[in-house]
Amino acid sequence: MVKSTRHAKYELYYHIVFVPKYRRSHLTGETKERLEAIFAEICENKDLELAESEVMPDHVHLFIGSPPKNAPSLIVNWVKGISARKYNQRYDDRVKWTRSYYVGTAGSASEGAVERYIAEQEGGDA
């Protein structure tokens, strides 16, 4: 769904994947539920759209929509840093993330659709 700010229309979504330190398979049960709630809380506080989240035993997948003012690396830093801090303050067991991550972009327009749109603009009034 296309959203807007005062100066831009956008539809930016990022697929983010990261893993716990030492790739321990401990993100299950209550830990999984707690992390999903914390990710939702972070996104709400940072004005991000958490379209989808999946906490696997040894890694996390998030699909997050964001305004264009937020760099993908900033979003990842928010999600990983704030989630670890909140989790470790609230619960006795600990969660630590590795420094590495994957982020990929996703949107509603295919490469062909963008190319057609740009080609159509060339013939329009400038």
pLDDT > 70? residue 122: no
d(CA 58, CA 93): 16
Give residue-wise pLDDT tens across range 55-109. 999 999 999 999 999 999 999 999 999 999 999 999 998 999 999 999 988 766 6
> Is 101 labeled as catalytic in the residue annotation?
no
For residue 87, give its domain range. 3-123
pLDDT tens digits, 11-45 = 888 999 999 998 878 899 999 999 999 999 999 99
Beta pairing, strands 13-18 & 102-106: antiparallel
Q: Structural domain tally of the chain?
A: 1
CATH number at residue 28: 3.30.70.1290
